[in-house]
Amino acid sequence: MNLRIGVIGTGAIGEDHIRRITNVITGARVVALSDLNVNRAKNLAKKYDVKFYVTGEEVIEAAEVDAVVIASWDPTHAQYVAASIKAGKFVLCEKPLATSKEDCKRIVEAELAGGKQLVQVGFMRRFDSGYRQLKACIESGEIGNPLMLHCVHRNPTPGPKHTTEMSIKNSVIHEIDVLRWLLGEDFKTAQVLLPKSSSLAENGLRDPQIVLLETQSGVRIDIESFVSCQYGYDVQCEVVGETGTIRLPDPAAVVMRSHGKLSYEIFSDWSDRFVEAYNIEFQQWVDGVKLGVVAGPTAWDGYAACITADACTEAREKGTIVPITMPQCSAFYGR
């Protein structure tokens, strides 16, 4: 039987997820949706023949909705996740889980109090074949213990509401989660360096930024965040180990020799670069929900990422190295 899904937020990624659930994955269909932008949402409701609700809460409470996808603006995530837990419904919330560690903590506490894991966070890089190959290689011991990681996260241009703070809390949070997953450990310090800002970064945005993280075992990580790099959407990751290095592969692309140049295309945004990862993420989420389990990053992972992102924000504001204190993870989350 199809899992009946309600979608809250039908902007860029919300619409993409509705298309994915309807046309790409199996075992689920969208039955309800909601968005502040009523015209947009109503048009999509008509296109996909699903019910429009005025508020996200109505979607969550609707009897015909078995599970919820949250793809609205970041500051709204916490309220919709809390309402989904209260309604006892599985929920896949786009990253970040919430915009503060305090809100994430409340979500974790509510889930613990309910006694059942219901929340998955949309950290889809964990489902990307390149990152999975990196993880398998690290775990095989082929390059010895990882010592350093060099990462790059570039977007051609920021969205209209993008702020200096969001470069970490909305964007680098992907690296924070996937590196924590790759290395199997939490972080102990954060620092943020602000190089000369690009003249193309508008409205006072500080861009690029360099995030320096240190893991609990002492692995050193540098992440370049550059959201107005102009040339494309570019994600890189190199792991330096004791006996070798490994590098995240670029997605397969045709290599062209033409006009005296050797070239291949660079994607322009996340939706193409990680399309397979989103598809796998959603298929596994649906399959897991039908079995009554969360098959991906949990509320705890969302909380841990937010604690780290908050420390980075503090480090940027104070210009100092900030220690990261991770609370003890409950056995409920399997750690």
Nearest one of 117, 2, 16, 111 to 65, comparing CA atoms: 2
Nearest one of 54, 1, 2 to 32, comparing CA atoms: 54
- How far is residue 229's CA from residue 208's CA, in Å, rounded to a whole number? 8
Nearest one of 168, 166, 179 to 248, comparing CA atoms: 179
Q: Are 213 and 308 spatial neighbours (Cβ–Cβ below 8 Å)?
A: yes
Torsions phi, psi for 215 (to 5 deg): -80, 170
Q: Which of residues 267-306 bind ligand NAP (CB under 6 A)?
A: 270
Give the CA angle between residues 106, 109, 115 to the nearest 5°. Answer: 145
Contacting range for ligand NAP; rule: CB under 6 A; set: 4-12, 18-26, 150-158, 253-261 = 4-12
Q: How far is the CB of 56 from ligand NAP (least distance, A)?
A: 5
| Identified binder of ligand NAP from the candidate list 57, 58, 61, 74, rule CB under 6 A | 74
- How far is residue 283's CA from residue 28's CA, in Å, rounded to a whole number? 9
Nearer to ligand NAP, 182 or 219 (CB): 182
Cβ neighbours of 254 (radius 10 Å): 7
End-to-end CA gap in the chain = 33
Q: How far is the CB of 1 from ligand NAP (least distance, A)?
A: 28
Torsions phi, psi for 219 (to 5 deg): -65, 135
Residue least distant from ligand NAP (Cβ): 11
Q: How far is the CB of 73 from ligand NAP (least distance, A)?
A: 4
Q: Give the per-residue contact string, 154-193, with ligand NAP (x = CB under 6 A; - = no).
A: ----------------x-----------------------
- 103 is a site residue for ligand NAP (CB under 6 A): no
| Identified binder of ligand NAP from the candidate list 2, 22, 43, 76, rule CB under 6 A | 76
Nearer to ligand NAP, 173 or 192 (CB): 173
Give the CA angle between residues 32, 38, 43 to the nearest 5°. Answer: 65
| Identified binder of ligand NAP from the candidate list 6, 9, 296, 302, rule CB under 6 A | 9
Q: Give the per-residue contact string, 19-38, with ligand NAP (x = CB under 6 A; - = no).
A: ---------------xxxx-
- Token representation of residue 175: 């690296």
Q: How far is the CB of 311 from ligand NAP (least distance, A)?
A: 19
* Contacts to ligand NAP by CB under 6 A: 8-14, 34-37, 56, 71-74, 76, 94-95, 122, 124, 170, 270
